[in-house]
């Protein structure tokens, strides 16, 4: 079930669902998603579905990971990227080969610790992870030309907008009952906002949980 053929079938499905960026599809074809879930669920790792990763959280659906990565990269290559909500580290692993430097924060300690071990052992060397509340971004390493979040707040936190470089792009779900994927682009002090499709993410929660 973890064979290249199973992974290729997932990529074919994503293509049929409308993902067009070949670089993104190539990375998904070579990323071992079965190593980002519990062994008991690894036989389902190449289904296009979210799966539980413990602590009430989920590994994102491959379509959503592909779509958000595609939207983030649509204006060209990115150098510095910030991710909020490392979770299993799967989205981190997909972004890593497509950007120069990647910073990712997670608020739940056991998930953070597992993601560090996983990404280290798989050799993702341009990635830095931190246990913290993503409401505050990670100002020390900004500004970022891409910011991506995998949890939905009521609205985009101001600190994330402040850490966006001029020309930078931010992609994240927004809303409580009904969530929409939002793309924000910074032009100097002006932020343009585009609402994309409906999505379903875990809530963006404050604080650090140990």
Pick the binder of ligand SAH from 2, 6, 42, 135 (CB under 6 A).
Answer: 135
In the three-class reduction of DSSP (H, G, I as helix; E, B as strand; rest coil), residue 79 is classed as strand
Q: Are 164 and 193 in contact (CB under 8 A)?
A: no
Least distance in angstroms from the C-beta of 181 to ligand SAH: 14
x/- string (CB under 6 A) for ligand SAH, residues 39-78? --------------x---xxxx------------------
Pick out residues in 92-111 that bind ligand SAH (CB under 6 A): 105-108, 111
Q: Directed axis angle between helix 22-30 and helix 62-73, to 10°?
A: 140
From 17, 30, 60, 159, active-site residue: 60
State how far the alpha carbon of 47 is from the alpha carbons of 23, 148, 151, in Å. 20, 23, 21
Q: Is 14 in the site for ligand SAH (CB under 6 A)?
A: no
Q: What distance in Å separates the CA atoms of residue 189 and residue 119, rounded to the nearest whole number?
A: 36
Burial grade of 190 (CB within 10 A; 0-12, 13-18, 19 or more): exposed
Query: Which stretches of the chain bind ligand SAH, using CB under 6 A?
Result: 53, 57-60, 84-85, 87-88, 90-91, 105-108, 111, 133-135, 150-151, 202, 204-206
Provide the annotated active-site residues: 60
């Amino acid at each position: 079930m973890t064979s290249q053929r199973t992974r290729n079938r997932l990529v074919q499905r994503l293509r049929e669902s409308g993902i067009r960026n070949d670089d993104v599809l190539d990375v998904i074809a070579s990323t071992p998603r079965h190593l980002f879930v519990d062994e008991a669920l690894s036989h389902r790792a190449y289904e296009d579905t979210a799966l539980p990763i413990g602590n009430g959280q989920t590994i994102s659906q491959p379509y959503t990971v592909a779509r958000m990565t595609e939207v983030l990269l649509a204006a060209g290559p990115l150098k510095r990227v910030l991710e909020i909500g490392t979770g299993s580290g799967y989205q981190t692993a997909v972004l890593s080969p497509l950007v120069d430097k990647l910073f990712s924060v997670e608020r739940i300690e056991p998930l953070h610790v597992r993601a560090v071990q996983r990404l280290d052992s798989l050799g993702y060397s341009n990635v830095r992870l931190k246990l913290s509340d993503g409401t505050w971004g990670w100002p020390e390493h900004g500004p970022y030309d891409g910011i991506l979040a995998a949890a939905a707040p009521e609205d985009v936190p101001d600190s994330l907008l402040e850490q966006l470089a001029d020309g930078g792009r931010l992609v994240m779900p927004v809303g409580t009952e009904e969530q929409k994927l939002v793309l924000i682009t910074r032009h100097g002090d002006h932020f343009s906002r585009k609402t994309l499709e409906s999505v379903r993410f875990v809530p963006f929660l404050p604080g650090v949980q140990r």
